[in-house]
Chain A
Amino acid sequence: MITRYAAELATAGTTAALGIVTMIGATEYGIGWGKSGPEPGTFPFYTGLIVALASAGIVAQTVVARGKFTTPFLTAAQLRPVLAFSLPIVAFVIASLVLGLYVATALYLLATMVFQAKYRLRVALPIAVAVPIGLYLLLEKAFQVSLLKGPLEGMLGL
């Protein structure tokens, strides 16, 4: 189980780090007064500083009121469905980059429906094929918006 306390600290720590990274990145472009007014890094430098300071404030608040944050952030029982939902999404993104969005969509829908929701193939397959075809007709035909394509579309000459 992850406690709310740990999650609060980890998140505030991460945002503080992002703030500092922004500040460091901003110094590259100058944070002072240049020939044409404030240099390009000035504004991001201060927004980074604000993020870092506010995050530090959250850390302080959390540590001081530690007793208030003992509730769970994520229990073991919740972790399973969350991972079962999110890991296939990561696989879907990777598949999209390799096979294109249409093919990845079909595979992703088929896999989640058959392996997770235990649908029969003859129910799942038509849905998994119909969705990308519908998307293709809507985007490429109706709106002339081109989607990420892979080797299969190349073979089909689309």
Chain B
Amino acid sequence: MDGIASLLHGFGVALTAYHVMLMVIGVMLGLLVGVLPGLGAPNGVSLLLPLTFTMDPVAAIILLTSTYWGALFGGSTTSILFNIPGEPSSVATTFDGYPMAKQGRATEALSYAFLSAGFGALLGVVLITLLSGWVARFALKFSSPEYFAVYFLAFASFIGLGGASPLKTIVSIGLGFSLAAVGMDSISGSLRLSYGFDSLVPGISFLVAVIGLFGLGELVVTIEEGLKIDGIRARLSLRDVLRTAADMPRHWLALLRSGAIGCWMGITPGGPTAASFMSYGLAKRFSRKGARFGQGEPEGVISPETADHAAGTSAMLPMLALGVPGSATSAVMLGGLMIWGLNPGPMLFIERPDFVWGLIASMYLANVVAVVLVLTTVPMFAAILRTPFAVIGPIIVVVCFVGAYTVASREFDLWLALAFGVVGYIFKKLDYPIAPMVLAMVIGDKAEDAFRQSLIMSKGSPAIFWANPLVTTLMSLGLLLLLWPLIARLVAVARRPIP
């Protein structure tokens, strides 16, 4: 098992005082971001990224991933105590978490949430440890057509399995690709789609887009829905936590099922949000206690939380091994890797094993740090939400614009963030999915390069995408997923009894 040896080496890299300090800072910032409405994991990571440009990549990725874990935990806290999901992926946690808290079982609900989240994350990291080396070795055989096929598969699965309207998903992806094309063309060097505006020549940063789409857009939606904060006070005592922990093994079936759903949804780009809903839905259907779901059933907290974190963690696997992110947040991190001068994908495992395995080891450590921190700081973060939104809201706005400016120190980016805020608001209200757009913006250039290089290899013949069994399988799977909404509809029509 060279995976274990590499992992031990990774622990050697990750386990320094400096890195552990970064984990603590990252988790705390993540908790803050997860608790505050309007700021989420993709946003928090985007805001921090410009500050890491000068850091060592290993330290930088540890900071960013720790923020991600923190944000995932923070989102669950507000779901349970305030019935406000801090993250879209913790919406399902409100269904049973908030009723539990209202019955005076807030401590129990929080402990269940954090412990099952920790378990889910652990499953995800174990999966990464076991599979990433293998996937990367496999992916070393890939050349441009296979890469294009993998990207195609990733986007097709958004369309086929994402749950949103397929046409709206296509619009979102297409816009992302078009935005990625603005500015310098990485193959010919020509400046594209600037329409004579100097401001468009350097391109449109995906970071500014994320800040506007996820941050500002979400804030306006929050305002419109009228934020009613009706929080339940909670203080966690060690005894309660231990008692819940002792009770956890009884829920082994829910834990394993939800973990499996989460890992699957994280690796295929379904993302944590879809994973948590799916897990909750399946648990409700198959659990013996299914009928009591929605009235404060622990399994209704355990199922979405485990899946959410398993998906969040395992989304790092395709990002590291293939260079294809499985969620919006990992897309932002992938962009970060490229900015730090790393080349995500299988070559990273050969060129920078210290980075890859340091990161994987840090995921074990940071999740332990996160569980401990979140259990000890819940009352503090809950207090933050009690500060009136009239103060917190404008401060979040300021942080978003400051973040947008720090990306490239360009005044134009302030306008861009504002414009993306409007887009984010409208898209959210009309159910256009935003994550695929961010993914397309981040890997747009890579997908285009793969496409063009493939065609150069074949002298213009698209048959290269069906040239060998591997690429044929990938493309066919992609096509199947792409056409899945249509197929499902045809099947439904065919099954309908003829009157």
Chain A contacts to B: CB under 8 angstroms: 4, 7-8, 11-12, 15, 18-19, 21-22, 25-26, 29, 33, 36-44, 47-48, 50-51, 54-55, 57-58, 61, 73-74, 78, 81-82, 85-86, 88-90, 92-93, 96-97, 101, 105, 108-109, 112-113, 116-117, 119, 127, 131, 135, 139, 143-148
Residues of A near B391 (CB, < 8 A) are 113, 117, 119, 127
A40-B187 in contact given A19-B174, A89-B216, A109-B398 (Cβ < 8 Å): yes
Looking at A33, A40, A48, which has the most chain B CB atoms within 10 Å of its CB? A40
Whole-angstrom distance between the alpha carbons of A39 and B170 in the complex?
24
A148 lies within 8 A of B405 (CB): yes
Would you list which residues of chain B between 124 and 180 have a CB under 8 Å from chain A?
165, 167-168, 170-171, 174-175, 177-178
Cross-chain contact of A113 among B219, B224, B390, B451 (Cβ < 8 A): B390
Chain B contacts to A: CB under 8 angstroms: 50-51, 54, 165, 167-168, 170-171, 174-175, 177-178, 181, 185, 187-188, 190, 192-193, 195, 216, 219-220, 223-224, 226, 388, 390-391, 393-395, 397-398, 401-402, 405-406, 409, 411, 414-415, 418, 421, 426-427, 429-430, 432, 448, 451-453, 455-456, 460
B452 lies within 8 A of A15 (CB): no
Nearest chain-A residue to B458 (Cβ)?
Answer: A37
Looking at A15, A43, A81, A101, which has the most chain B CB atoms within 10 Å of its CB? A43
B394 lies within 8 A of A33 (CB): no
Q: Chain B binding site: helix, strand, loop or mixed by DSSP?
A: helix
Report B440 CB to chain A, min CB distance, Å. 8
Q: List 27 A-B contacts (CB under 8 A).
A: A7-B429, A8-B430, A19-B174, A22-B181, A22-B193, A25-B192, A36-B187, A38-B456, A44-B177, A44-B181, A47-B181, A48-B178, A51-B170, A54-B168, A55-B167, A57-B167, A73-B429, A73-B430, A81-B223, A82-B220, A85-B393, A89-B216, A90-B418, A93-B414, A93-B415, A108-B394, A144-B54
B401 lies within 8 A of A109 (CB): no
Whole-angstrom distance between the alpha carbons of A90 and B426 in the complex?
17
Cross-chain contact of B394 among A44, A112, A143 (Cβ < 8 A): A112
A86-B220 in contact given A8-B430, A96-B414, A101-B401 (Cβ < 8 Å): yes
B430 lies within 8 A of A85 (CB): no
A19 lies within 8 A of B178 (CB): yes
Cross-chain contact of A82 among B165, B224, B452 (Cβ < 8 A): B224
Whole-angstrom distance between the alpha carbons of A47 and B167 in the complex?
14
Whole-angstrom distance between the alpha carbons of A11 and B426 in the complex?
8
Report A27 CB to chain B, min CB distance, Å. 11
Residues of B near A7 (CB, < 8 A) are 426, 429-430
Whole-angstrom distance between the alpha carbons of A51 and B440 in the complex?
13
Residues of A near B401 (CB, < 8 A) are 92-93, 96, 101
Whole-angstrom distance between the alpha carbons of A23 and B391 in the complex?
44
Nearest chain-B residue to A111 (Cβ)?
Answer: B394
Cross-chain contact of A131 among B398, B429, B460 (Cβ < 8 A): B398
Whole-angstrom distance between the alpha carbons of A26 and B387 in the complex?
49
B430 lies within 8 A of A44 (CB): no
A37 lies within 8 A of B178 (CB): no
Nearest chain-A residue to B55 (Cβ)?
Answer: A143
A37 lies within 8 A of B167 (CB): no
A101 lies within 8 A of B402 (CB): yes
Whole-angstrom distance between the alpha carbons of A43 and B148 in the complex?
13
Nearest chain-B residue to A32 (Cβ)?
Answer: B460
Nearest chain-A residue to B397 (Cβ)?
Answer: A89
Residues of A near B397 (CB, < 8 A) are 89, 92, 108
Residues of B near A18 (CB, < 8 A) are 175, 178
Nearest chain-A residue to B400 (Cβ)?
Answer: A89
Whole-angstrom distance between the alpha carbons of A55 and B452 in the complex?
26
A51-B171 in contact given A96-B401, A113-B391 (Cβ < 8 Å): yes
B406 lies within 8 A of A109 (CB): no
Report B30 CB to chain A, min CB distance, Å. 17
A-B contact sample (9 more), CB < 8 A, given A37-B453, A139-B402: A7-B429, A50-B170, A51-B175, A54-B168, A93-B418, A97-B411, A113-B391, A119-B390, A131-B395
Looking at B54, B391, B395, B405, which has the most chain A CB atoms within 10 Å of its CB? B391
A135-B402 in contact given A54-B167, A97-B414 (Cβ < 8 Å): yes
Report B173 CB to chain A, min CB distance, Å. 8
Report A18 CB to chain B, min CB distance, Å. 7
Residues of B near A96 (CB, < 8 A) are 401, 414
Nearest chain-B residue to A89 (Cβ)?
Answer: B397
B181 lies within 8 A of A43 (CB): yes
A33 lies within 8 A of B460 (CB): yes
Cross-chain contact of B174 among A39, A42, A54, A147 (Cβ < 8 A): A54
A38 lies within 8 A of B455 (CB): yes
Whole-angstrom distance between the alpha carbons of A92 and B397 in the complex?
9
Cross-chain contact of B224 among A4, A81, A88 (Cβ < 8 A): A81
Residues of A near B421 (CB, < 8 A) are 89
- What are the 5 closest A-B residue pairs judged by CB atoms, nearest first? A117-B390, A51-B174, A37-B456, A47-B177, A44-B181
Whole-angstrom distance between the alpha carbons of A21 and B192 in the complex?
13
Whole-angstrom distance between the alpha carbons of A7 and B428 in the complex?
12
Whole-angstrom distance between the alpha carbons of A33 and B411 in the complex?
38
Report A147 CB to chain B, min CB distance, Å. 6
A54-B223 in contact given A29-B192, A97-B411, A143-B51 (Cβ < 8 Å): no
Looking at A39, A90, A93, A108, which has the most chain B CB atoms within 10 Å of its CB? A93
Residues of A near B426 (CB, < 8 A) are 7, 11
Residues of B near A90 (CB, < 8 A) are 418
Residues of A near B418 (CB, < 8 A) are 89-90, 93
Nearest chain-B residue to A78 (Cβ)?
Answer: B224
Residues of B near A109 (CB, < 8 A) are 394-395, 398
Report A108 CB to chain B, min CB distance, Å. 6
